[in-house]
Amino acid sequence: MRIGIFGGSFNPPHMGHLNSLETVLKKAGLDRIHVLPNSKNPLKVQVEGPKPEQRLEMVRLGLESYGKNFVVDDREIRRGGISYTIDTIREFRKDVAADDLFLIIGADNFETFNQWKDYREILKDANLIVTTRPGFEIPSGVDDIPEFLKDQIEEADFNFIELKTGRNIQFLSLKDIEVSSSELRKKLRTGRPVQKELPLAVESYIRDQGLYRPLTDRIGDQLDFTKFCGNVLFERKGINVRGFDLRQMSAPAEYALVASGTSTRHASSLAENVVQRVKEEYNIYPQGIEGLDEGRWVVLDYGSTMIHLFYDFVRQEYSIENLWKQAPDLGLKDPIVK
């Protein structure tokens, strides 16, 4: 039996996931693919969304008509805590030979595969199947392989790499299905149609469970919330903290906050403190976070309030306040400074 492992957050599971599963099963000649929703991704920041058990149920519903070749596997959720792929592979290896075990990942994850825990051990215990997604191309030669992997290569062909570990890496092209989980969540929160991106059973479950509701429903007074976040930024020594009322503008949010850090690390720290304090006060996470690792420009998406945090040099470069020069300034003041 040639067994595939296909893990992820599945937040929510969509037609892009299903397309990938069907294509890999057929092209790679697998007998069965285990689909594993994770408990917590170690490389992603927590965002507002369904519980792990709800993501598991959505995967079950999405795959219920796709046949017995796909197995919904709950072991990572049962295990709880942070889901490390190496732990899951070690469990599979108790019953499956390394030659017959295939870890399926997207080309975007392949580029950062060296950030995975014990990634070299993974390359000893399982083969890799790397699927291309829109914007990513199959490597055309050794020069296109990520640097961290080059010392592992025994032999390389156009879409197939033999590793010194005895395992191999195969690249498979998918039909381009433009589905982004983050964009899909935004559509769900704003009531836009999603029938082309989601299986009907998953869409019905989301509606019945009230998942991906706008955060505004839980925040209450959005202006008070924006000022609360502003005060957190003042407390953490944010530079030039400003707020804007965007309700009279054509903008994706009602309010915007902008502040700077003295370094990229300070900018990321400002974001982390806002996330922590908002969770404590309002019991919500942002519905999206971008740029936290780099710290040059971090965006926290709280629905009707967008928070932009910059390394100060980058803020000057982009002059983002010019976008809102027609919007009323909230006149935020540091509550400690008299």
Q: What is the pLDDT of residue 135?
A: 64
Q: Which two tokens stand for residue 177?
A: 């299905």
Residue 8 banded pLDDT, cuts 50, 70, 90 = very high
pLDDT band (50, 70, 90) for residue 297: very high
Q: What is the mean pLDDT of residues 200-217?
A: 92
Q: Given this model, what pLDDT does residue 24 score?
A: 95
57-101 pLDDT, tens digit each: 999 999 998 989 999 999 999 999 999 999 999 999 999 999 999
**What is the model's pLDDT at position 317?**
92
Strands 101-106 and 127-131: parallel
Mean pLDDT of 198-217: 93
User: Shortest CA distance to 145 belongs to which of 123, 126, 124?
Assistant: 123
What is the average per-residue pLDDT within 143-171? 89
Cβ burial 49-72 (10 Å sphere, 16+ → b, else e): bbebebbbbbbbbbbeeeeeebeb
pLDDT at residue 45 is higher than 90 = no
- Provide CB contacts within 8 A for 233, sequence distance 6+: 241, 257, 259, 270, 274, 309
Distance (Å, rounded) from C-alpha 226 to C-alpha 221?
9
DSSP code, position 296: S
Of the segments 41-45, 250-254, 259-263, 323-327, which one has the largest average pLDDT value? 259-263
* Residue 274 pLDDT > 80: yes
Residue 84 DSSP class: -
- pLDDT classification of 37: cutoffs 50, 70, 90: very high
Give the Å distances, CA to CA, from 172 to 110, 202, 260. Answer: 13, 27, 43
Encoded tokens for 188: 């769900």
Q: Between 338 and 330, whose confidence is greater?
A: 330
pLDDT at 195 over 80: yes
**Predicted structure pTM score:** 0.84
Question: For residue 134, is pLDDT > 80?
Answer: no
pLDDT tens per residue across span 92-110: 999 999 999 999 999 888 9
What burial letters (b/e) apply to 89-114, b meaning 16+ CB within 10 Å? beebeeebebebbbbbbbbebbeebe
Mean pLDDT (whole number) for 272-297: 94
pLDDT > 90 fraction of the chain, expressed in percent and rounded: 75
CA atoms within 13 A on the CB side of 222: 20
Q: CB burial class (10 A; 0-12, 13-18, 19+) of residue 80?
A: exposed
Residues 6+ apart with CB under 8 A from 324: 244, 246, 249, 251, 256
The radius of gyration computed from the CA coordinates of the chain, to the nearest angstrom, equals 22
Owner of token pair 């003295």: 262
Domains observed in the chain: 3-172 (3.40.50.620), 217-324 (3.30.460.10)
Between CA 116 and CA 131 the distance in angstroms is: 17
Percent of the chain with pLDDT over 70: 97
> What 8-state DSSP symbol labels residue 286?
-
Residue 128: pLDDT band (50, 70, 90) is: very high
